Amino acid sequence: MDESEIKSIVEAVIKDTHFWIAIVGLIGVFVGATITFAGNLLLHYLREQKQKRLDTRRKELLEQMLRDNRFKEKWRRLTTLSAVVGTPAEETMRLLVELGDRGSEKADGKWALLEYHPLDELEQ
């Protein structure tokens, strides 16, 4: 074997090595991206589950408060509902709407179960 043949073999091996290094690097990028995406998806799911459980407990408490028979008119103040469940007024309103409750048409900050105060029986 002469020197030029050896040189061409070495160059071919180097090119082949560079090709495989690039392929391995590309596979590493895909694997890393997939693991990162799956990890973020899992973290998001776990956070959402925690928030859903908290929202469920809060909704149950709101429902219990609005069904309390000690209140003759079945209306409860938003400030009281918010304080009991430990959320700001906007968050409490979101939970109440998800439960199917409604606010007073007088805009006085009171909420009740829709079944106790249906919209077709609005106060004048």
Q: Which helix (H) or strand (E) holds 8?
A: helix 3-66
pLDDT at 123: 56
Print the domain residue range for 84. 3-121
Angle between helices 78-85 and 3-66 (to 10 degrees): 130
Question: Which residues have a Cβ under 8 Å from the Cβ of 57 and sit 6 or more positions away?
Answer: none
- pTM above threshold 0.85: no
pLDDT at 121: 66
Average pLDDT value for residue range 93-122: 87
Q: Is the pLDDT of residue 13 over 90?
A: no
| Domain count within the chain | 1
> From CA 8, how far away is CA 66, in angstroms rounded?
86
